[in-house]
Amino acid sequence: MTTTMDGRRHREIEEAAADSSDKTTSTSPSGGVPDDRAAPHETPSSSEEKKDDAAPAPQRNPRALRLRLLNLIRTFYLEALSRLPAARLWSTHARGVLVAGHCYGPFSPVDNILVNAIWYDTAFPRRPTTEFHFGDVLEISPQCMARAAHRSLEGLVAFLLQLCPSLSRDDALWHLHLSKADLLQAVASASDSALSPTHAAFLAAAEAAHHPVPRAMAHFASSVLPTVEHNAHKLLRVNQVLSAPDLDRLSAMLVPSPIPGDLCPPPPLLTTWVSAIIKSRMDGCRDSQETSRQLAETVLRKYVQQTGQIYELHMFCGLHVFFGPKPFWHINFLARPKDAAGELRIYFFAEATVPMGDDNEFLEDDIVLCCPIKPSRIGGCRSCSAGYIKINHPINKEHNGGLEDYDADKIGNGDDHWAYNFPRLVDFITFDAERDCATVCAVEKSFPQSSDGDESVEDFWIRQAL
């Protein structure tokens, strides 16, 4: 029997803790490679989704609707990440996309993610200190991506229920399904009369989505954004892949003046223990990220050998490692054509054997499979699904753990296993000591110090491993 492990070589184990409330069409990552290539012009609204549309509709089955929406929203996040320039994504906007870039707003879901993330990163810039400084973020775990999708969906549902109080939660899911998670289309579908978004609806959405500053978000969405909506939409539509100057223009547009002080929460109270835990996790993440970067770059070298096409890593989006008689890795990542700044990013799947040499470095011979894919469907691998790891797999190429057939509505054993609550690795590597109250509370709850108070962080991790 194959056993599953969450990581290798100092990869930190991401332990889900309690966060009980977590339970559009736009364009998506693509290019000119035929077959399975991921196409930002064709998220689930194109060929892959046409296949889904041909399949029996989930009708009013709430669980099936929820799973389909979560998978769809996940593709929106991948597209949003693909549209940001790498340097700004790594240094600034990965945090905004994942903690505050939710799907609700007046635009398409992808544009809403981008606008909400850029607003948050501009209005509440992270100020790394010597004590808490990670550096560039090159890797986002599938668990973190899944959590972002869950929180966006909770926000969308809360918005609909606030604006249309006669709806049930199941009704809200149905209208979001019909609209492909486009909020304004869902509102139009759910109401017999024209309804305008309200401050109360945005506040309900932000609170349900665990936004770090819900009151400030509601103020922005209901009072500031309407005044610049036309210009912001025009900029987003003209520029498929945003440049640094585009982001600067959007930032100035979305935050024309400082945020009112009463909308800014007080800084968290950091104890010595919590600080030590966060710094310890940051150190572990550096090793994990270096392993992922090396693996992706080895895959891309192998791809050059096979196709002659040169790509550079844009963002590492998922990894699962299996140890058994035939140990292997499954990974997803976004890459961009080298020396082509305006080209759309491509979404890749790769399978690699686990390196067993003395130096533990990946070689091109370790790469079993590498191919561009569409990021629209989850599943196709019994190993990843059994571990509740959302990795996209090719449906027309053989790989370890592959399934001949799978149902996108029946992956895993229930929604709760896919919720991936607090704290995730990204919560540590993007930690802001001035604002991240939720992370501090989660660390206090998930990583309690021994009762005598004399335990070191090193001894704590040893005790956790026993």
Among the ranges given (114-123, 163-172, 390-399), the one the predictor scored with the smallest mean pLDDT? 390-399
pLDDT higher for 431 or 179?
179
Peptide bond into 423 cis (omega under 30): yes
Stretch 295-307: mean pLDDT = 93
Which residues of 303-407 form beta strands (DSSP E)? 311-323, 328-337, 346-353, 367-372
Which among 200, 232, 206, 219 is positioned nearest to 102, based on CA atoms? 206
Q: How confident is the model at residue 333 (pLDDT cuts 50, 70, 90)?
A: very high
State the sign of the Cα–Cα–Cα–Cα dihedral 205, 433, 83, 13. negative
Residue 6's pLDDT is: 35
Instruction: Give pLDDT tens digits for 88-134.
Output: 888 889 889 988 999 999 999 999 999 999 999 999 988 766 555 55
Q: How confident is the model at residue 271 (pLDDT cuts 50, 70, 90)?
A: confident
Task: Return the number of other C-beta atoms located less than 10 Å from residue 455's C-beta.
Answer: 15
* Contact criterion met (CB below 8 Å) for 104 and 159: yes
Burial 168-183 (b: 16+ CB within 10 A, else e): eeebbbbbbbebbbbb
Residues β-bridged to residue 371: 349
Cα distances from 320 to residues 5, 205, 297, in angstroms, run: 8, 32, 17
pLDDT at 142: 84
- Say if CB 77 and CB 96 are below 8 A apart: no
Rounded to the nearest integer, the mean pLDDT of the chain is 78
Hey, is 329 helix, strand or coil? strand
Mean pLDDT of 33-53: 38
- Angle between helix axes 457-465 and 272-307 (nearest 10 degrees) is 60
| Of 404 and 248, the one with more pLDDT | 248
